[in-house]
Amino acid sequence: MNVMSNINYGRFDIAKMHYEYSGFEYIELPWTVDEDIANITKPYGVQNFFMKDKVFVASGEQSFLQLSLKGNLKPGKYQGISPCFRDEGIIDRIHQEYFLKLELFQSVDVNIENLGKMIESAQKFFNYFCVDTLKTVTEDGFDICTMQGIELGSYGIREFNGFHWIFGTGLAEPRLTKATIG
C-alpha cells in the first residue's frame, strides 16, 4: 500500500493557518538529525534509520530539538512539517512506517497551562473536520483520540539537560484522512 497516496495535502495549508492564528510561527524543518538528538525521544528498543551519518526523523520534535540544542532556534512557539520514519511493531491502516506530520513545539513559557492551550487548539482543528475527539491521559502526557479510539496526536512536556519544551501533533496524514473516512 502506498501511504503517500492517502495524504490530504490541502489539510496542511489549513493547519498552518490555524496554528499560526494560535501563535505558532511556521519554520522549515530538517528531515535528518544527529543520532544523539534522535535518541532523546526514541523509545527503548526502536531502531533509527540512517542516511550517512544522520538519522531520519521519527517526528518533527527531533528536528526542533536539533535546531534548539545546536543554538539555531531561539525560544518560541513554532510549527513545522516533516516526514516521520518509524520502526513500528505493527503495520496496519493506521500505523505506518512513514507519514507526514505538522509538529507543534514550544520552548518558551513551558508549563501545564500552555500545554493545555496547545491541546485545545489541536482539538479545535480536528473538530473542524467533524471529528469528535477526547483527551486521554498517557504515560508521557496526553493523546487526542477519536471517539472510535484512533489516536490523532500526542502532547506533553519534556526536559533534557535543563532544556524544557512542549510538543504536540498539529496534523498527521494520512491518519486524519483515515479517521474521517473510516
Check residue 1 and give its pLDDT: 47
**Cβ(32)–Cβ(67) below 8 Å:** no
Give the pLDDT band of residue 55 (cuts 50, 70, 90): very high
Check residue 2 and give its pLDDT: 52
Count of CB atoms situated within 10 Å of the CB of 147: 9
pLDDT, tens only, 96-135: 778 999 999 999 999 999 999 999 999 999 999 877 888 8
Mean of pLDDT values over 38-44:
91
> Which residue, among 169, 106, 164, 103, has the nearest Cα to 133 in the 3D structure?
169
Residue 91 has pLDDT above 80, yes or no: no
pLDDT, tens only, 168-182: 999 999 989 888 875
Higher-scoring residue by pLDDT: 9, 6: 9
Residue ranges of the alpha helices (H) in the chain?
10-21, 35-41, 60-69, 112-128, 175-181
Is the CATH code 3.40.50.970 the one for domain 3-181?
no
Higher-scoring residue by pLDDT: 155, 91: 155
- The torsion defined by the Cα of 83, 90, 49 and 16, in degrees rounded to 10, comes to 10
Q: What contacts 124, CB < 8 A, 6 or more positions away?
A: 18
% residues pLDDT > 70 (the chain): 93
Q: Which three cell numbers stand for residue 135?
A: 483527551
Check residue 181 and give its pLDDT: 76
Check residue 98 and give its pLDDT: 82
* Mean pLDDT estimate for the chain: 91
- The pTM (predicted TM-score) of the whole model is 0.92
> Which residue, among 32, 155, 8, has the nearest Cα to 82 in the 3D structure?
32
Q: What contacts 106, CB < 8 A, 6 or more positions away?
A: 24, 76, 77, 78, 114, 118, 165, 166
Higher-scoring residue by pLDDT: 135, 56: 56
Q: What contacts 78, CB < 8 A, 6 or more positions away?
A: 24, 25, 26, 27, 64, 104, 105, 106
> Which residue, among 120, 121, 123, 130, has the nearest Cα to 152 in the 3D structure?
123
